[in-house]
């Protein structure tokens, strides 16, 4: 009987160890993924002098804002629009700052978002692409006006 208990407790212990090991491996993998993901997004695009010069070749148009209610009864504000590349260079990635203000003109939220991504094909010279920016966590003090949209970073195609 003691041998049976030892065998059973060893199996129980080994199962617990296997589950703990699997959880640790998943945790390490998740941590590594988040670090890699953060470092990629942390490679913050800058507006180099070359990119600043190119800004006049980029044009935001048809920018609109609307509010809708999600299935969870949460208010979602969407900003949609288009960006045109009137220059002679292809661009892999464009990020903008969306700056939201309160009734007194004070910044209540400044969020950096991508409107052109390499994974979506970037934007070629002469091309116009649509973008959609959903926001579901805007501060209550926001003045309900269109935020200021400022190009924050550009990465040219190689």
Cα distance between residue 34 and residue 38, in whole Å: 6
Written out in words, the top-level CATH class of the domain with range 49-156 is mainly beta
pTM, two decimals, is 0.69
Closest CA to 65 of 130, 146, 2: 146
In this predicted structure, what is the pLDDT of residue 40? 47
In this predicted structure, what is the pLDDT of residue 7? 56
- Distances, alpha carbon 2 to alpha carbons 6, 18, 31, in Å: 6, 24, 42
- pLDDT tens-digit readout, 15-72: 777 776 777 777 666 666 655 544 444 456 788 999 999 999 999 999 999 998 877 7
Under the banding of pLDDT at 50, 70 and 90, the label for residue 113 is: very high
DSSP-H helix ranges across 2-152: 2-42, 49-54
Tell me the average pLDDT of the chain: 85
Helix, strand, or coil (residue 95)? strand
Break the chain into its structural domains and give their ranges: 1-43, 49-156
């Amino acid at each position: 009987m003691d041998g049976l208990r030892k065998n059973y407790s060893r199996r129980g212990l080994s199962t617990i160890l296997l589950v703990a090991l699997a959880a640790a491996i998943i945790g390490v993998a998740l941590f590594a993924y988040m670090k890699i993901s953060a470092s990629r997004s942390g490679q913050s695009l800058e507006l180099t002098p070359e990119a600043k010069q190119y800004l006049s070749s980029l044009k935001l148009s048809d920018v609109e804002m609307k509010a809708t209610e999600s299935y969870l009864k949460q208010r979602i504000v969407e900003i949609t629009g288009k960006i045109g590349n009137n220059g002679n260079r292809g661009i892999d990635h464009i990020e903008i700052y969306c700056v939201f203000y309160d009734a007194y003109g004070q910044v209540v939220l400044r969020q950096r978002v991508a409107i052109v991504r390499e994974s979506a094909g970037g934007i070629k010279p002469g091309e116009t692409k649509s973008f959609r920016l959903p926001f579901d966590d805007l501060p209550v003090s926001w003045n309900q006006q269109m935020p200021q949209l400022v190009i924050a970073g550009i990465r040219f195609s190689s």
